[in-house]
Chain A
Amino acid sequence: MIEILSYEFMQKAFISGIVIAIACSLLGVFLVLRKFSLIGDGIAHISFGGVATGLLFNITPFIGALLFGLIGSFGIIKLKEKSAVYSDTAIGIVSHVSLGIGIFILSIASGLNVDILSYLFGSILSIKTTELLLSLSLALLVIVFIIIYYKDLFYMSFDEESARVSGIKVNFLNSMLLILTAVTIVCSMNIVGLMLASSLIILPAASALQIKTSFKKTLIYSVLISVFSVIAGLIIAYNYDFAVSGTIVILNALFFLLILLHSKINNLSSNIK
């Protein structure tokens, strides 16, 4: 363990991994409960266009992905408001247009394909200090926002109409959830890659929800599962030379299966009693 931490790239990976794991897992509980869990995939597709554009114009891909992610989120919000399309259709339209832009850029520019793989599948070796600082600051902002609005988001997730009647700014918070998801997906790009970015949002939250406890404890469990998976994933991947993103996702999936199994056994035994 001490040996791992002596490498600068591993220190960066642990620090950013833990902060991003917290942001993703907190956000994930609200997104899963609101049945928005696949929005992360949509935003990852949008960000892909930004990474390709960044590489083409020699702008930091992180910035390109962030800009595309934010513009894409606003695009989804406006498309929903101004036209008669459903949320998932709006996400589908914006994400596929951006994905199309990314693929088009890759086809006309040579030599980008190798670079883009590290953004698609994650590469802890490629984390630059500026990207690390930016992603840490943004992930911390996401965490602070969720802590401040946690009760409002909780109420909205339980019953949006009643929350609206209570004076909670539901439209603002819905838009913020989308924007924060975009920010979080881009922040997690270096660790797990765009292909698996939404897994850090969905899996820990889905596992924690299987535990069937209070809302506060569900949030805590989601964070613990996510952080543990990232730390263990980094250690295992380093020791056995596995892909970091895949290892983290497999650990998360194992957690989900174990908790699901435990909950089924509990149900069965309480039914027998």
Chain B
Amino acid sequence: MHSLINLSSVSFSYTDSDVIKNISFSVKKGDFVGLIGPNGSGKSTLLRIILGILTPRKGVVSLFGKELKKFGEWEKIGYVPQKATNIEKNFPATVYEVVSMGLLSIQKFPKIITKREDSKIKEALTSVSMENFSQRRITELSSGQQQRVLIAKALVVSPEILILDEPTTGVDQENKESFYNLLGKLNNKGMTILLVSHDIGRITKYVNKVASINQKIEFYGTYKEFCLKDAAYKKEYKLYSDKG
């Protein structure tokens, strides 16, 4: 099975010392990978490198078999940022308008919404159970609902992989569970998922692989292996579980 994401000996530094050290791992089709690590471990930095926002100092990042520099099929990637807590409280956009932004990567000029695209938007909203909110302003929704809308925005182009950065930050406990349920359902339907989270206690039901980093890779393998690998991991898992 080919890798959708492949990192080979990737290092990155903002100043003099590396905050990402020699990290290698890959995400294969159908995987649900949990990228975990403590605060400041470089999870979000690594994600920004994968998305081409930051350029690594050393190493190679490949997406769908192509080196990042040559990769241009961004519609294959659905990105859900850690956004719900950051949406401007007066931002003037309806749920429908936000989801339609997702179509921009595939639209040619004139960027108007065709009937086909309109049904894609409605389909994406239905897949996250937000079809009845399409004309509501995004800022009127709860953070859990906003995060669902952002997933619909990512799903509207039918991506092959969904990349999420700490998506449940600011989301209440009840909505967190239903949010992870939604991700589990999407993965069961064949969606590959890379989820950055510190919420290891909650995501364990859904992920099939874990990449644990703390500037360098500490573990990469199945969740079962992660738990059994050694006492340190078990301890860490317990720590996370207790927090969750």
Contact = CB atoms under 8 A, between A and B. Distances in A.
Q: Do A and B come together as binding partners? A: yes
A219 to B, nearest CB: 9
Given A165-B74, A167-B74, A213-B92, A155 B104 contact: yes
A33 B105 contact: no
B53 A161 contact: yes
Contacts of B102: 166
Interface stretch (B10-18, B93-101, B170-178, B194-202): B93-101
Contact of B101 (A148, A154, A167, A214): A154
Interface residues of A, number: 27
Given A33-B91, A148-B109, A216 B104 contact: no
A32 to B, nearest CB: 10
A141 to B, nearest CB: 16
B91 A164 contact: no
B104 A214 contact: no
Contacts of A218: 92
Nearest to A147: B110
Interface string A157-191: 11101111111100000000000000000000000
Interface residues of B, number: 29
B40 interface: no
A165 B79 contact: yes
Given A158-B101, A159-B83, A166-B105, A214 B92 contact: yes
Contact of A215 (B48, B52, B81, B92): B92
Contacts of A159: 81, 83
Contact of A155 (B53, B81, B88, B101): B101
Main secondary structure of the interface of A (DSSP, over half): helix
Contact of B137 (A148, A163, A165, A212): A212
Contacts of B104: 151-152, 155, 163, 166, 168
B196 to A, nearest CB: 14
Interface in B71-99: 72, 74-75, 77, 79, 81, 83, 87-88, 90-94, 97-98
B217 interface: no
Contacts of B100: 151
Contact of B98 (A158, A163, A213, A217): A158
Contacts of B87: 158
A223 interface: no
Contacts of B75: 167
A214 B53 contact: no
B97 A215 contact: yes
Interface in B31-75: 48, 51-53, 72, 74-75
B93 A214 contact: yes
B2 interface: no
Contact of A164 (B53, B101, B109, B111): B53
B164 to A, nearest CB: 12
B118 to A, nearest CB: 15
Contacts of B88: 33
Given A161-B53, A164-B52, A215-B93, 16 more contacts: A148-B109, A154-B93, A157-B91, A158-B91, A158-B98, A161-B81, A165-B51, A165-B52, A165-B77, A166-B104, A167-B72, A208-B92, A214-B92, A214-B93, A215-B94, A215-B97
17 contacts: A151-B100, A151-B104, A151-B107, A152-B111, A158-B98, A162-B101, A164-B53, A165-B53, A166-B79, A166-B102, A167-B74, A213-B92, A214-B93, A214-B137, A215-B92, A216-B97, A218-B92
Interface of A: 33, 148, 151-152, 154-155, 157-159, 161-168, 208-209, 211-218
3 shortest interchain CB distances as A-B pairs:
A218-B92, A166-B105, A167-B74
